[in-house]
Every structure is written in C-alpha cells, then in structure tokens.
Amino acid sequence: MDSIDKKLLHLLQTDAKKTTKELALKLNLSVTAVYERIKKLEREGIIEKYVALINRLKVEKGFVVFCHLKLIQHTREFVTTFEKEITQLKEVIECHHVSGDYDYILKIVVKDMEEYREFLVNKLTTLQHIGSTHSTFMISEVKNTTVISV
C-alpha cells in the first residue's frame, strides 16, 4: 500500500459516494487507475464493505448505553454461548471482549430509559451465564468517527 492508496482510503472513508471520476481528480490519476486501486483494496480485504451511517436521533435511537458485563465463568462453552446469543440482540450495536474488571463492554442504542429497562429485563438478563452488569449512560458524544488513519 503506497501513499496514493492511503489518500484514496481517506477519501473513501470520508465520503464513499464520490465517483471514481471525482476521486481521480483529487488524486491526479486516471479514472481507470483509481478503479483498479479500489478493486485491489477490496480484493485484499482492506476495504471490507460500504455502509450508510444513520443519524440515531432521526430514527429514535438516541439513548446510548455502555453496559459492562461479567460472565459467571470463563469456560469456552460459556463464552461461546454468550457471544452467539448477544449477536442476536438488535439493540446491541457493538460487543467487545475486554480485559479488566468486566468481560465484555456492550454499546446499546434504544429510544429512551424505558426502552432500555425493557431490553435489560426482557432480553439481556435472560441470557445464560451472565453474572453481573453495570450500565453507563451517554451524556453527550464528543467524538464519533469511522475514519481509521492509515
């Protein structure tokens, strides 16, 4: 990956809807050269997919919760079962296996506190092998980006 690929990745991360012609003008390359570079980055798995980022507030999912979670045991069976079950919960948009006092950190988006309570009582705490949870509510978002500097 050279410096042009890095610039191209930055441009695509900033606005993936730019045409190859627009990208070519910014990179001083031909449209064909840009197209080939993008295809190479996709083949190599550097570009995994293209998505639309949605404004949570506009779709009534403005209440963000970071839920720290402990399993009762750390056996392979418990971890595998939990991870399989947690991926099925649509309210959980991120799940990270972490070190420290807790085993997992979940990022959960819902409409409001009432919806979070329903989620907690009817979905999360019904999962097997959960020992304890600790919820932290977002006050404001200081930084949220999908751009990875390369």
Q: pLDDT of 38-70, one tens digit each? A: 999 999 999 999 999 999 999 999 999 999 999
What the block records as the tokens of 135 is 């919820």
Q: Report how far residue 38's alpha carbon sits from residue 52's, in angstroms, rounded to the nearest whole number.
A: 18
Average pLDDT value for the chain: 96
Cβ contacts of residue 101 below 8 Å, gap of 6+?
A: 68, 70
User: What tens digit of pLDDT does each residue of 62-101 get?
Assistant: 999 999 999 998 889 999 999 999 999 999 999 999 999 9
- Region of 148 (left: φ > 0; alpha: ψ -120 to 50; beta: rest) is beta
pLDDT for position 25: 97
